[in-house]
Structure formats: C-alpha cells, structure tokens
C-alpha cells in the first residue's frame, strides 16, 4: 500500500522534473539560436552594416573582436 505522503512526494518529484526539463529545453533553444547567429567582426564596417539592416536592428548577432 502507498501512503498519501509517498504519493505527495512522487507527484511533486514529477512536477519539478517536468518544470526543470521545460526550462532546460527553453534555454537549449535560445542557445541554438545564438550559436547559429552570424558572426561579425567589430571593425569600421560595422556601423555601415547596422545602418543598412531593416529597422537598424540585427536580431541575433555574435560580435567578435
């Protein structure tokens, strides 16, 4: 026989596992987008590139330099 305390522990364990897995997958998707971002060098051409972008905004860009 399973006691109510054991059921409570099992349920909370499953709930926390699900929550942490959800947070892990959310962060993994964000990291994948960042890793796929184009890499730009910080040099004299950067202001020209940003000014020609739509709305003067580059969604995800990794700056090197």
Residue range of the domain that includes 30: 4-51
Count of structural domains within the chain:
1
Domain membership of residue 61 (yes or no) is no
Paired tokens of 15: 């709930």
Any idea which residue has 């995800």 for tokens? 60
pTM, two decimal places: 0.57
pLDDT digits (tens, 9 = 90+) for 7-53: 999 999 999 999 999 999 999 998 998 888 777 777 787 778 778 87
d(CA 9, CA 31): 33
- Parallel/antiparallel/unpaired status of strands 39-41 and 62-64: parallel
In angstroms, the CA 57 to CA 34 distance is 15
CA distance 29 to 36: 11
């Amino acid at each position: 026989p399973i006691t109510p305390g054991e059921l409570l522990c099992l349920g909370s364990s499953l709930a926390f596992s699900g929550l942490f897995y959800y947070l892990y997958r959310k962060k993994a998707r964000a990291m994948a987008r960042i890793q796929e971002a184009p890499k730009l060098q910080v040099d004299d051409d950067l202001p020209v590139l940003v000014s020609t972008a739509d709305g003067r905004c580059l969604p995800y860009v990794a700056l090197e330099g």
